[in-house]
Structure 1
Amino acid sequence: MHHTPRTHQGPAGSRRAEDITALAPRPLRHVLFRQQWRDLVFLHWPADPFEVARLLPPGTVPDLYNGRTYVGLVFFRMRDLALGRARALPYLGSFGEVNVRLYSRDARGRRGVVFRSLDCDRLLPVLAADAAFRLPYRWSRIRSQWFDSRLVYRTHRRGNPGAAASVWLDVQDTRVTPTPLEEFLTYRWGLHGRAFGRSYYLPNAHPTWTFRACTLLDRHDSLVGAAGLSEPAQEPVSVLYSPGLPVHFGTPEVLPVPGTTRRR
């Protein structure tokens, strides 16, 4: 399937945003770690750009599609987490995850995601991700189960059961083509974060997404509000299901922050 690259301008004063492409626009020079994502469910709502802007790392701005930005709630199962070319970690390399994410762009025009929370049901990956990248992982209880064609995810945060989410989908075998908005939301080739006083960009690469037709049967969420955003007052504008794919992550790059100078 051929996708025509699309470009959308963001806030004035920054470099033109890179094209939206179905495959990573830049090869990874080195693979820092790799993993498999399985049974992904994406829910998305419009978000206030001014509210989003204050939650992003310095050196990034909200990425806009037709003047709007979005917040995503994503459920999936992680499998076969591995460092570099090493073998996948047994047991510790497989777990459930639910994240709240925003959409960002840096001064080079690279589009990314910013995680506001990542709920995970393995404690060691939570500690390791926090130590290495200062990602906002939270140790949670996560369950997923198939009932014929219906998929259910449930999560609640340990120590804070009020921070919880669930989703119930009916998934069909029919493949679907993402809309231009859904391409904007899912064709993301890196994440922006902040660790040890510096903002960074961590690139990734994976095959083209495959999506299947699905129907949202029920949902509950308090994770978006717990992540510092206004809770959605409407049904999601996009609901996607993907059976999954392998993902590789490269090495992080420190972002220049406007208004600072680099020492020689």
Structure 2
Amino acid sequence: MQSEKDISIEDRLKAKKLGPFPCMYQDWRHLLFLNWAYDPKEIQKTLPKGLFVDVHEGKAFLSVVVFFIENLRAPFLPKVPGLSHFIEINLRTYVYDERGVPGVWFYSLDIDSKLAAFGGRTFFHLPYHQADLKSEFKNGIIHITGQRKSNPSTFFNFSYKENNEKNRLAKPGTQDFFLVERYILYTTVKNQLKRGQVHHESYPLAQTDFFTANTNLFESNHFFKPQGPPDSIQYSPGVDVSIFPLKNNK
């Protein structure tokens, strides 16, 4: 198994290069990254053949990412009113393939649109779920609450402060860089490993006052709930994203 230290900074950034023919554009806004260190061996047990848990200084991570999708649109087409703005909450970990290409592996993605959830499952073969999610912006605080439609016992309650000032970029080699500089997603189709690319500029990161994170996403994905607060928290005002279709991981 290739270890984290064998993947150079250059290799980690190769996937950032813009490819041809994106199939979709999205704007990601008000992103909250909540990252917990987790046992690498436990995460490895959950991964498909051909993927390996990626670690930073010996630590693997599970992350809850909360954000808003805006202006979803296909190339050369305008956005569709009512079908282009969503809330998404996902649980992910950090992996690399047999060639050492780093990326992310999703355990679940909850989104407040039946059509978007269907599209994510059908065209990207990702474990999307429709969720009933509500948001409120009040005095600079973002509140998101709700539950999964198919399983209301899976619930979400997040509050965090937006911060559009004093943004910084993650420094190569740091834990922040390891967690946010990811441009490949992996999934499987009929037990065959596939990959997709997302392209965007590096996340502008900022400090945020962390208020509430109450969810049972870990338990609903068969992980033990972390004891204690996240090991790291990042906030980003957002990036504009190009999304590319899946292809065979060769």
> So what's the TM-score if we normalise by structure 2?
0.90
Question: Which deviates more, 168-177 or 75-84?
Answer: 168-177
Question: Which deviates more, 23-32 or 213-222?
Answer: 23-32
CA drift at 1:159: 3.5
Structure 2 vs 1, CA of residues 15 and 59 (structure 1 numbering), >3 Å: closer, same or farther?
A: farther
Partner of 2:9: 19
CA drift at 1:216: 0.8
In structure 1, stretches of 5+ residues that fail to align are: 1-10, 257-264
Equivalent position amino acid for 2:28 in 1 = W
Partner of 1:249: 243
Task: Tell me, in whole angstroms, the C-alpha distance in 2 between the residues paired with 1:45 and 1:146.
Answer: 26
**CA contact under 8 A between 1:42 and 1:73: conserved in structure 2?**
yes
CA drift at 1:140: 0.7
Partner of 1:227: 221
Equivalent position amino acid for 2:81 in 1 = P
Partner of 2:187: 193
Superposition pairs of residues 156-171 of structure 1, within 5 angstroms:
156-171=147-162
In structure 2, stretches of 5+ residues that fail to align are: none
Structure 2 vs 1, CA of residues 54 and 83 (structure 1 numbering), >3 Å: closer, same or farther?
A: farther
**CA contact under 8 A between 1:43 and 1:73: conserved in structure 2?**
yes
- CA deviation map 1:164-186 (0-9, x unaligned): 12221234443244461111100
Partner of 1:30: 21
Match of 1:203 among 174, 179, 197: 197
**CA contact under 8 A between 2:26 and 2:72: conserved in structure 1?**
yes
Match of 2:49 among 50, 58, 62: 58
Structure 2 vs 1, CA of residues 106 and 89 (structure 1 numbering), >3 Å: closer, same or farther?
A: farther
- CA deviation map 1:84-127 (0-9, x unaligned): 33322331222111100111101222111111000111001111
Equivalent position amino acid for 2:179 in 1 = L
**CA contact under 8 A between 1:23 and 1:187: conserved in structure 2?**
no
Structure 2 vs 1, CA of residues 22 and 16 (structure 1 numbering), >3 Å: closer, same or farther?
A: closer
Task: Tell me, in whole angstroms, the C-alpha distance in 2 between the residues paired with 1:23 and 1:246.
Answer: 19
Superposition pairs of residues 1-264 of structure 1, within 5 angstroms:
11-12=1-2, 16-19=6-9, 25-177=16-168, 178=170, 180-256=174-250
> So what's the TM-score if we normalise by structure 1?
0.85
Identity score, percent: 24
CA drift at 1:14: 9.8
Structure 2 vs 1, CA of residues 88 and 62 (structure 1 numbering), >3 Å: closer, same or farther?
A: same
Equivalent position amino acid for 2:7 in 1 = A
- Number of residue pairs matched by the alignment: 246
**CA contact under 8 A between 2:34 and 2:64: conserved in structure 1?**
yes
Equivalent position amino acid for 1:120 in 2 = I
**CA contact under 8 A between 1:133 and 1:195: conserved in structure 2?**
no
**CA contact under 8 A between 2:4 and 2:56: conserved in structure 1?**
no
**CA contact under 8 A between 1:157 and 1:163: conserved in structure 2?**
yes
Aligned-residue Cα RMSD (Å) equals 2.2
